[in-house]
Structure 1
């Protein structure tokens, strides 16, 4: 999500006049987008390596849990508060990759538990997330106008609602509310793919070429979509198993 990049070395707020944005993508902006998506692919590869390290336990120190949770937030905060200057470019890149590795470690237990129940669900979640992300991101890139920029407030409100639902469900432990939160989150982050892609285009057209921060925003959206699809599939498997046990008990 568009959380941190606008905080650093961006043009003044008055410069962001969305109505004046170009409707065609210039060669320099296309180069910037190539850098964004290339770095996004690198981050995803690092996260996959982190999840693999957690599941195989090749390096006992690199495990999902409190360690990975701490390093995820620490590296993200360090990246956020490191100015995007040429002198800091390598430092910010390593911090971003440390964030991707830590996030992969954190995803390891979830992926492993899903593989234990039904390994095919991991592949289905990966494919579904990739198709969903690719479709929405491509539609945002190909849309000639920047209408999606105005849905940011709606998406932020939806995130607030999701947070409220999560807090309420800590006490209620309601399965239906949890499912509603999952599907709402999937819809919201799909919307953020469109929104963040067009914001990245807008900022690039206005001179902000911080491809590290921009790829981080899309990475957060894509991982959020993948996690929710994976949990939805896992929940469906658990519901099927519960129904199967009930039927077996009735037969007895």
Structure 2
């Protein structure tokens, strides 16, 4: 998740800089008042959000196709190549400026990235199928409910209400990395489980944070709906992955107790 840092930190910085200027100019302590994120946003921002979520739906379809093809054709043997391919497409997408001229090209990159992300879920999906096939639909439905609830909360909360979470969430990511490094040597199941639940909470927080940050970026003129879609897509995929692992571990525990 290191790629998030610079891009989102700059976005938050720009938003707060604008708010500070607005407060000083209007002689108030806060320029946002009780405005709701979605209701108070401009028509262009609402149109932008429609594009973001339409692109997100496309990503979900392509990721599902990639995951299915992997499970059926056993592309997992090329896991390293598909992983590097997804990373390369994401970096290429991030490095390509958003414009009308590059829009189709960047949509193609997004499609490839989403497909390969689905392919890379193959090994985890196969593990869940081996334990209990019902884990996958349960995890997906759980992820859909979590993502929808947190997205709606961010959309209808006060403007910029969740942007303060940025520091906490990035600290959570570093804590997860720290625990993961320790567990390489400790090999503790307990620490691994704790890290999973921390990861789930952090990813849920990122849904709130990213949704409101997308709105504020759009209000400030950043209409790169393709990259904004990547943020939400990765949030969904990471929550789905965490839930599958948690459910898989719980199912294994139940089998051992029988």
Instruction: Return the TM-score normalized by structure 1.
Output: 0.88
How far residue 16 of structure 1 moved from its aligned partner, in angstroms, is: 4.7
- Per the alignment, do residues 230 and 25 of structure 1 end up closer, same or farther by CA in structure 2, a change over 3 Å counting? same
Alpha-carbon distance in 2 for matches of 1:241, 1:6: 44
- Residue 69 of structure 1 corresponds to 83
**2:183 maps to 1:182:** no
**2:46 maps to 1:45:** no
Which of these residues, 40, 46, 49, is aligned with residue 30 of structure 1? 46
- Is the contact between residue 53 and residue 62 of structure 1 (CA under 8 Å) also seen in structure 2? no
**2:132 maps to 1:131:** no
How far residue 4 of structure 1 moved from its aligned partner, in angstroms, is: 7.8
- Is the contact between residue 63 and residue 116 of structure 2 (CA under 8 Å) also seen in structure 1? yes
Provide, for residues 202-227 of structure 1, a one-character-per-residue CA deviation record: whole Å limited to 9, x for no partner: 01111111100111000011100000
- Is the contact between residue 5 and residue 80 of structure 1 (CA under 8 Å) also seen in structure 2? no
Provide, for residues 128-169 of structure 1, a one-character-per-residue CA deviation record: whole Å limited to 9, x for no partner: 000000000100000123121111001111100000001111
- Per the alignment, do residues 200 and 32 of structure 1 end up closer, same or farther by CA in structure 2, a change over 3 Å counting? same
Alignment of 1:78-227 (within 5 A): 78-227=92-241
Give ranges in structure 1 of 5+ residues lacking alignment: 245-252
Which of these residues, 244, 247, 253, is aligned with residue 230 of structure 1? 244
- Per the alignment, do residues 166 and 236 of structure 1 end up closer, same or farther by CA in structure 2, a change over 3 Å counting? same
How far residue 20 of structure 1 moved from its aligned partner, in angstroms, is: 4.2
Provide, for residues 99-139 of structure 1, a one-character-per-residue CA deviation record: whole Å limited to 9, x for no partner: 11111000012112201211111011000000000000100
The number of aligned residues is 241
Alpha-carbon distance in 1 for matches of 2:124, 2:208: 27
- Residue 22 of structure 2 corresponds to none
Alpha-carbon distance in 2 for matches of 1:167, 1:5: 23
Give ranges in structure 2 of 5+ residues lacking alignment: 20-29
- Per the alignment, do residues 30 and 14 of structure 1 end up closer, same or farther by CA in structure 2, a change over 3 Å counting? closer
- Per the alignment, do residues 64 and 47 of structure 1 end up closer, same or farther by CA in structure 2, a change over 3 Å counting? farther
Provide, for residues 171-211 of structure 1, a one-character-per-residue CA deviation record: whole Å limited to 9, x for no partner: 11100000000000000000000000000010111111110
- Is the contact between residue 162 and residue 181 of structure 1 (CA under 8 Å) also seen in structure 2? yes
SS across alignment from 2:96 = coil
- Per the alignment, do residues 156 and 4 of structure 1 end up closer, same or farther by CA in structure 2, a change over 3 Å counting? closer
- Is the contact between residue 196 and residue 218 of structure 1 (CA under 8 Å) also seen in structure 2? yes
Alpha-carbon distance in 1 for matches of 2:173, 2:5: 17
**2:17 maps to 1:3:** no
Alpha-carbon distance in 1 for matches of 2:197, 2:15: 36
- Is the contact between residue 111 and residue 122 of structure 1 (CA under 8 Å) also seen in structure 2? yes
- Per the alignment, do residues 87 and 206 of structure 1 end up closer, same or farther by CA in structure 2, a change over 3 Å counting? same
